[in-house]
Structure 1
Amino acid sequence: MSNPKRILILGPESTGKSTLTEDLAKYFGEPWVPEYAREYLDKLGREYRYEDLVKIGKGQVALEDKIADKAENYLFCDTDLRVIHIWSEHRFGKTDPWVFEQIKERKYDLILLTDTDLPWTPDPQREYPELEMRNYFLDLYTKLAEESGFPYHLISGNKEQRLKKALEII
């Protein structure tokens, strides 16, 4: 079994995380881990609650670990538990201890932090189209990337520029 480099794509909503993740996976011919929350929330049929966030987090971790078995050199992860932490604190003022434990335990070789310079794309699961709020969340994600101890880089520009920069970094 291989031990692929795990590359986390992290950032506020509507900043091109999924696009970059898919583009990198396609370029390298490696698997990528989608954002489990999308599937979970699509099926939920109600507003999410605090308790849902741990379920989403556990689903994300399980999905990442399952897909990691298929990766040879790289595993591209569209989000991680830092997103659960940020949303939990923002919406409910608290984060489940399990989320913190997992954030400490799970290792990434690189974090690519997506900038807010792309135009907002409406989506039923997105909540904050205002650039001020998007930058507020970018500051929070940047702080978490710094605290992680993993190398991280801010990825800006259009789709092609982002892919080019990410490839240079990798």
Structure 2
Amino acid sequence: MEKIPEQTHFSGLRIVLYGPESTGKSTLAQQLSAHYREPQVEEFARDYLQELFDQNGHICTYDDILPIAIGQRTAENIASAKANKFLFCDTDIVETYVYSMAYFDKVPAELIAAIKKSKYDHYVLLDVDTPWTDDDLRDKPNERKEMFNRFEAALQEYGYKYTKVSGLGENRLKNAINAIEKLI
């Protein structure tokens, strides 16, 4: 099997939009990318898992964890070549770690090793104060706070710097921009 690629060098700031499902990560990544005129890394797992769901009706198996991590890191490396000051990542491999623990109570050793070698400058941890949006892949509407706590615990476990961001619509964007501006 293919291995999780090493991160390519990037001299700007890698910012990860991070948190439970249905908290607006993709929307915020697009908004920040447009605001700063910098590229975003789209969430690999969404298209990958939607295709599997459409083919056979399953959401995710443990065997999908490494391909998701490989796809996410590959997309990140491609986008980093186009970035200057910021790279906005709509999730990362730490997010994959959290979901692996939540669904399977285990994580591939290769994923843990890749996380330990990864460098992200800041995480924007999105609060669960947004309305739940149902789709084929989302399945934890009643566990949002528990999942938020898992996400925060993973950041603390690996020593990543983060800012919690809440608010709806333009307020959420404004709060994220304020957090990023403090990094400059």
Q: TM-score, normalised by structure 2?
A: 0.87
1:86 aligned residue (98, 112, 116):
98
Residues 1:5 and 2:17 are matched in the alignment:
no
Query: Contact conserved, 1:146 with 1:152, CA < 8 A, in 2?
Result: no
Query: Contact conserved, 1:112 with 1:152, CA < 8 A, in 2?
Result: yes
Alpha-carbon distance in structure 1 between the residues aligned to 2:45 and 2:10:
27
Query: Contact conserved, 2:122 with 2:162, CA < 8 A, in 1?
Result: yes
2:47 aligned residue (26, 33, 39):
39
Alpha-carbon distance in structure 2 between the residues aligned to 1:84 and 1:24:
22
Q: Aligned residue for 2:137?
A: 125
Alpha-carbon distance in structure 1 between the residues aligned to 2:109 and 2:10:
30
In structure 1, the residue corresponding to 2:84 is in which secondary structure? coil
Q: Aligned residue for 1:21?
A: 29
In structure 2, the residue corresponding to 1:76 is in which secondary structure? strand
Residues 1:51 and 2:63 are matched in the alignment:
yes
More displaced, 85-94 or 25-34? Answer: 85-94
Q: TM-score, normalised by structure 1?
A: 0.94
* Percent of residue pairs identical: 39
Deviation at 1:2, TM superposition (A): 5.6
Alpha-carbon distance in structure 2 between the residues aligned to 1:2 and 1:57:
19
Paired amino acid for 1:105: K
Alpha-carbon distance in structure 2 between the residues aligned to 1:82 and 1:109:
13
Alpha-carbon distance in structure 1 between the residues aligned to 2:62 and 2:178:
39
User: How many residues align structurally?
Assistant: 168
**What are structure 2's unaligned runs of at least 5 residues?**
1-8
Deviation at 1:148, TM superposition (A): 2.9
Residues 1:107 and 2:115 are matched in the alignment:
no
Q: Quick one: structure 1 residues 107 and 2, their matched pair in 2 at CA, closer, same or farther if it must change by over 3 Å?
A: closer
Paired amino acid for 1:37: A
Paired amino acid for 2:16: L
Residues 1:144 and 2:158 are matched in the alignment:
no
1:33-58 CA-partner distances (Å, limit 9, x unpaired) = 11100111122223232111111110
1:133-168 CA-partner distances (Å, limit 9, x unpaired) = 100010011111223323211100112111111111
Q: Give me the CA root mean square deviation.
A: 1.3
Deviation at 1:82, TM superposition (A): 1.7
Query: Contact conserved, 1:7 with 1:77, CA < 8 A, in 2?
Result: yes
Alpha-carbon distance in structure 2 between the residues aligned to 1:84 and 1:54:
9
Paired amino acid for 2:62: Y
**What are structure 1's unaligned runs of at least 5 residues?**
none
In structure 1, the residue corresponding to 2:89 is in which secondary structure? strand
1:66-125 CA-partner distances (Å, limit 9, x unpaired) = 111000110000111122112212222211011101111111111000000011011111
